[in-house]
Amino acid sequence: MEKLLPRFLEYVAVDTQSDPDSQTTPSTEKQWKLAKKLVLELHQIGMQEVAIDENAYIMATLPSNTKKDCPTIGFIAHFDTTPDYTGENVKPQIVTDYDGGEIVLDARSNSVLSPDYFPDLLQYTGQTLITTDGTTLLGADDKAGIAEIITAMEYLIQHPEIPHGKIRIAFTPDEEIGRGAHKFDVKRFGADWAYTVDGSQIGELEFENFNAAGAKVFFDGRSVHPGYAKGKMINAIGLANTFMSLLPKHEVPETTEDRQGFFHIHTVSGKVEHAQMELIIRDHDEEQFQARKALLADIAEKINTTVGETVVRLEITGQYKNMAEKVAPVFHIVELAEEAMQDLGIEPIIKPIRGGTDGSQLSFMGLPCPNIFAGGHNFHGKYEYIPLESMQKAVLVIAKICELTAEKLVKYGKSKKR
């Protein structure tokens, strides 16, 4: 475990911010820097079949050390960080023996990590916290997952007395822009199932997620002199405002939880002649998800009918689906992770993901892939932090899943379903 913290700090120091406007894979050249470093490190700790392809997808193998006919299992994490917040010049702060009070991240900007606003902090009194310096994100999403997987593999290599079957690991680019699984070669990976190590607080275990789509709305106006605009001008910004006003006001991220869906407008730009809006659509329920997409089309049609011409154009792109459909038939893979946590004194927190991971796409590509915790909080911003102790527990959970698989399952072993 002594290598876990320095390993993590080394990873977050590398800027791997992804770019949704790029058409390359990875979407940013800087992701290669960490990818190549990870390949070298996997060789150094003794992993086998280490490979990186032309799109920076990394795969490696820990061979079986048992004669049992065990399933091949996998662990997956991503090395890019969100495009919405800078990952450049990350300078983590280490808070040892956290006292339960406020943590000043950056005095100049008055950035304070406070339990008054983030009560989850109080769970970690007395522990070691890794925080940002108040000017960047931390990058625990998902460099913590990478550090934990590599540390767990090194731990198993150094403890051959722990039985395990064949283990495959993979690290991917561009998860944060929804493309992490797009060029993932499931056949080459060769696992019966896998786990993404990409969850939040300690104990999280997730096997269902949002159905997701992205939408772009284009508004075409007509610009004339404002003094003579009556009956002539069509203000694209006003059209965008009308579109927003017709969306359900309380179905937004800041007012929803659990399985409640939402619309999230994240980008609006434009002038009188042309404006553009980008939003995401999320819902766990497939029927309600389709209804949300239909509502956007209805709003566009209503505005066009009112104006008397086509001034609103809508493009909707599917992103991922609810993995529960593919995990339910092999539910023992969830039960296995749950048992691993319980054996280590961790209370499993089984809940739906209010987002998506590579696992949701991989499940529909033939690789059932629940999600387990990496330990971080407040991802994608300057208030991000992660307890070191949670990271250590994640390492042990990964190792324990490997051990339990060898002890309890033969290939395609039967299990009760919930």
Ranges of H-type helices in 19-117: 31-45
Catalytic residue, chosen from 15, 19, 80, 206, is 80
Question: Which residues fall within 8 angstroms of residue 415, CB to CB, at 6 or more apart?
Answer: 330, 331, 332, 335
Which residues does 128 contact at the CB level (< 8 Å), separation at least 6?
94, 95, 96, 97, 98, 387, 388, 389
Q: Are strands 193-199 and 371-373 parallel, antiparallel or unpaired?
A: parallel
What's the one-letter identity of residue 141?
Answer: D
Let me know if 332 is exposed, middle or buried by CB neighbors in 10 A (0-12, 13-18, 19+): buried
Distance, CA of 66 to CA of 357 (rounded, Å): 31
Angle between helices 388-408 and 4-12 (to 10 degrees): 110
Catalytic: 175?
Answer: yes
Chain-centre distance for alpha carbon 334: 18
**The sheet that has 93-95: what strands, in order across it?**
93-95, 129-131, 385-387
> What is the token pair recorded at 310?
């086509």
DSSP H helical ranges for 24-139: 31-45
Active-site residue, selected from the candidate residues 19, 141, 175, 192: 175
Alpha-carbon distance of 331 to 268, in angstroms, equals 42
The Cβ-side half-sphere exposure at 36, using a 13 Å CA radius, reads: 6
Q: What residues contact residue 240 under an 8 Å CB cut-off, 6+ apart?
A: 217, 219, 268, 270, 275, 277
Decide if 204 contacts 345 (C-beta within 8 A). no
Enzyme catalytic residues: 80, 175
